Amino acid sequence: MDHFLYRDGILHAEDVALPDIAATVGTPFYCYSTATLTRHYHLFTEALSPLPHLVCFAIKSLSNLAVLKHLGSLGAGMDVVSAGEYLRARAAGVPGERIVFSGVGKTREEMRLALEGGIRQFNVESEPEMRALSEVAVSLGKIAPITIRVNPDVDAKTHEKIATGKSENKFGIPIARAREVYAEAAALPGLRVVGIDVHIGSQLTELAPFEQAYRKVAALTETLRADGHAIERLDLGGGLGIPYTRSNEAPPLPTDYGALIKRTVGHLGCEIEIEPGRLISGNAGILVSRVIYVKHGEGRDFLILDAAMNDLVRPSMYGAHHDIVPVIEPAAGTEAQPYDVVGPVCETGDTFAKGRPLPAMVEGDLVAFRSAGAYGAVMASEYNSRPLIPEVLVKGDHFAVIRARPTFDEILRRDTIPEWL
């Protein structure tokens, strides 16, 4: 459920009519709903209660400071994967003890930053990383709390580019080698083992792969405890999928996911951490765009929008589907016709949808891409020298621009022409 609904024939974000935002900030823009973010965060906290838990929002999915500030003030932790994300979480007021640091290639500078600034734990992904972290911690006179990310060799049954839990993927250490790696970690002077981490992929639409992975983690917890390790926390990753269409999709609900967690690892007495991104932010955001032209092509009509693949890359990159709806609700009984929905970027891959049924559209009409809150704005680029588009946050009947559209002057000023040219 989200808070983007038609009211009096006009698509609203909570109580704000989208044409009003478009008139103020111009198009295209991203628009997020505070109420949807809140609701989705609470679905997880309720699903995990009464287990001791921390929901660490995967800020790679949506990293605007205002969004992080809002989730942080609800009590959320943050899952970060770079110095930039760590600094964002801190700038949004999230204390270090609620931040977990994931990622296969943390640099020593990033380790130093997080150790000095405060961190709940590092989710370590390899032996070289583990040794580097120990050295950095010792050099700072600190002890780094760690989990080790294990790769359970489970097929997440999702798009191959976002599956991470198979043995051929670059993530984690093979679960079969966990005992020897934990033994080495325990012997390193700068580390303190606090738990186990696992994350098998994103946009999972079945629970079975989670169940397989979490059962393996439960067995490993017992084994490692028998070896003398203090396994107090289990970080179970993110990945729960969302419905991208209104009609036929019914991915598992957070309540089912919570019940699964209780069933598989609830008896171990561990604090549970999860790292959801998409389920919190995905349906909390839309991308609003305007029709520049309707072009009649050979046997097809093109809807040419002012948004392009540089603003929302998921369709070109993963063949992802996003529902596209007119901002002005079509009258009941209006016939739909197929459009190829494209952007202005100079390559054929700049196609959002082919043969998408929509009511007859004309220049100037507004459309909204649904489910664009996660991996939308954060994956945008300035390809074709198109400025990054603004982000707007709605709460009730008011909205604020939470990232302004840069001016061309600002963009051009970032480049330097050397004096010897």
Q: Which of 91, 74, 7 is nearest to 35 (CA)?
A: 74
* Residue 152 interacts with ligand LLP (CB under 6 A): yes or no: no
Shortest Cβ distance from residue 103 to ligand LLP (Å)?
7
For 160, how many CA atoms within 13 A lie in the half-sphere containing its CB?
1
* Residue 314 interacts with ligand LLP (CB under 6 A): yes or no: yes
* Residue 163 interacts with ligand LLP (CB under 6 A): yes or no: no
For 265, how many CA atoms within 13 A lie in the half-sphere containing its CB?
35
* Residue 208 interacts with ligand LLP (CB under 6 A): yes or no: no
Shortest Cβ distance from residue 203 to ligand LLP (Å)?
6
The residue within the footprint of ligand LLP, chosen from 36, 102, 283, 371 (CB under 6 A), is: 102
* Residue 44 interacts with ligand LLP (CB under 6 A): yes or no: no
The residue within the footprint of ligand LLP, chosen from 172, 277, 315, 326 (CB under 6 A), is: 277
Q: Which residue type is seen at 184?
A: E
Only one of the segments 44-52, 63-71, 197-205, 258-266 lies at the binding site for ligand LLP (rule: CB under 6 A); that segment is: 197-205
* Residue 58 interacts with ligand LLP (CB under 6 A): yes or no: yes
Annotated binding residue at 244? no
Q: Which residues pair with 327 in a beta bridge?
A: none
Residue 320 to residue 22: CA distance in whole angstroms: 25
Contact 253, 242 (CB under 8 A): no
User: Annotated active-site positions, please?
Assistant: 346
Residue placing its CB nearer to ligand LLP in the complex, 339 or 375: 375
* The two structure tokens encoding residue 118: 């405060």
Residues in the chain: 421
* Residue 172 interacts with ligand LLP (CB under 6 A): yes or no: no
The residue within the footprint of ligand LLP, chosen from 238, 254, 343, 390 (CB under 6 A), is: 238
The residue within the footprint of ligand LLP, chosen from 239, 258, 343, 373 (CB under 6 A), is: 239
Residues 6+ apart with CB under 8 A from 29: 21, 22, 287, 288, 389, 390, 391, 392, 405
Strand order in the sheet with 10-13: 4-7, 10-13, 16-17
Residue placing its CB nearer to ligand LLP in the complex, 209 or 326: 209
The residue within the footprint of ligand LLP, chosen from 152, 165, 276, 326 (CB under 6 A), is: 276
The residue within the footprint of ligand LLP, chosen from 273, 275, 311, 365 (CB under 6 A), is: 275
Shortest Cβ distance from residue 330 to ligand LLP (Å)?
29
The residue within the footprint of ligand LLP, chosen from 3, 88, 216, 278 (CB under 6 A), is: 278
Shortest Cβ distance from residue 375 to ligand LLP (Å)?
3
Shortest Cβ distance from residue 135 to ligand LLP (Å)?
24
Annotated binding residue at 314? yes
Contact 313, 376 (CB under 8 A): no
Shortest Cβ distance from residue 382 to ligand LLP (Å)?
18
Q: Could you give the C-alpha distances from 388 to 215, 312, 347, 408, in angstroms and in order?
A: 43, 11, 19, 11
For 122, how many CA atoms within 13 A lie in the half-sphere containing its CB?
34
Shortest Cβ distance from residue 238 to ligand LLP (Å)?
3
Query: For 154-209, what is the HEC assignment?
Result: CCCCCCHHHECCCCCCCCCEEHHHHHHHHHHHHHCCCEEEEEEECCCECCECCCHH
Q: Locate all alpha helices (DSSP H) within 75-177, ordered by sequence.
A: 83-91, 108-117, 127-139
Only one of the segments 32-40, 269-277, 302-310, 355-363 lies at the binding site for ligand LLP (rule: CB under 6 A); that segment is: 269-277
First to last CA, the chain: 56
Residue 61 to residue 10: CA distance in whole angstroms: 28
The residue within the footprint of ligand LLP, chosen from 3, 199, 370, 395 (CB under 6 A), is: 199
Binding site for ligand LLP (CB under 6 A): 58, 61, 79, 102, 162, 199, 202-203, 237-239, 275-279, 314, 318, 374-375
**Binding annotation for pyridoxal 5'-phosphate:** 239, 275-278, 375
**Binding annotation for substrate:** 278, 314, 318, 347, 375
